[in-house]
């Protein structure tokens, strides 16, 4: 114990103690800054790898790649719909789309088509948002006299009757007249196919 006491009182020993303290501080500082740097780089690398994995997963599940020209709309761009699907054929006339809508709703009789058209426009006039009514009003609203001249007179007359019923529902907000001719089918009851 005395030998240790003598060494601590020696001025050279104080210098050694001071140098040892400086060395400990350096090692502590070096280790903590290295630890912080290592953790920071590890987290950064983790986020980069995660972002790349999500990028690859997204494009793998959507079936698109960065080289797909449809992203840019350039040469060779493909549309997102199936061209063989008859409900999305863009070469169809408005009357063909209207016929497809009637078939999709399961409304076949002309009297029932008039009632449904009347109810769709009536709902639109009073501000009720119903998807079926919105679709029918949009398709019926696109029918022009020019479209009617391209079809047979019987079909044109049937479409004019439907448009008349639609205007009646919009103007008078009452479709009882059309309900008497088609009591079992309404906008609320069509069978969606």
User: What are the tens digits of pLDDT across the range 53-65?
Assistant: 888 777 767 655 5
- The answer to pTM > 0.95 is no
Select the more confidently predicted residue: 187 or 173. 173
Residues 6+ apart with CB under 8 A from 66: 59
Cα–Cα distance, 4 to 191 (Å, whole number): 101
Cα–Cα distance, 44 to 51 (Å, whole number): 11
Q: What is the pLDDT of residues 139-150, one digit of tens each?
A: 888 888 888 888
Cβ atoms of 182 and 115 closer than 8 Å: yes
Select the more confidently predicted residue: 176 or 36. 176
Residues 6+ apart with CB under 8 A from 111: 178, 181, 182
pLDDT of residue 171: 93
pLDDT of residue 129: 82
| pLDDT higher than threshold 70 for residue 193 | no
Helices (H), the chain: 2-9, 11-62, 94-105, 110-126, 131-141, 145-149, 153-172, 176-181
| pLDDT higher than threshold 80 for residue 32 | no
| pLDDT tier, 191 (very low <50, low <70, confident <90, very high otherwise) | low
């Amino acid at each position: 114990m005395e030998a240790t006491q003598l060494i601590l009182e020696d001025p050279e020993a104080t210098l050694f103690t001071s140098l040892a303290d400086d060395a400990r501080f350096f090692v502590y500082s070096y280790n903590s800054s290295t630890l912080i740097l290592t953790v920071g780089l590890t987290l950064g690398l983790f986020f980069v790898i995660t972002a790349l994995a999500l990028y690859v997963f997204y494009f793998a599940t959507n079936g698109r790649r960065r080289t797909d020209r449809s992203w840019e709309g350039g040469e060779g761009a493909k549309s997102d719909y199936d061209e063989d699907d008859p409900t999305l054929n863009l070469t169809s006339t408005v009357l063909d789309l209207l016929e497809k809508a009637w078939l999709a709703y399961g409304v076949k009789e002309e009297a029932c088509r008039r009632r449904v058209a009347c109810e769709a426009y009536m709902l639109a006039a009073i501000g009720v948002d119903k998807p079926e009514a919105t679709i029918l009003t949009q398709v019926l609203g696109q029918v022009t006299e020019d479209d009617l001249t391209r079809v047979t007179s019987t079909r044109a007359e049937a479409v004019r009757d439907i448009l008349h019923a639609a205007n009646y529902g919009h103007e008078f907000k009452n479709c009882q007249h059309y309900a008497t001719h088609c009591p079992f089918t309404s906008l609320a009851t069509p069978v969606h196919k």
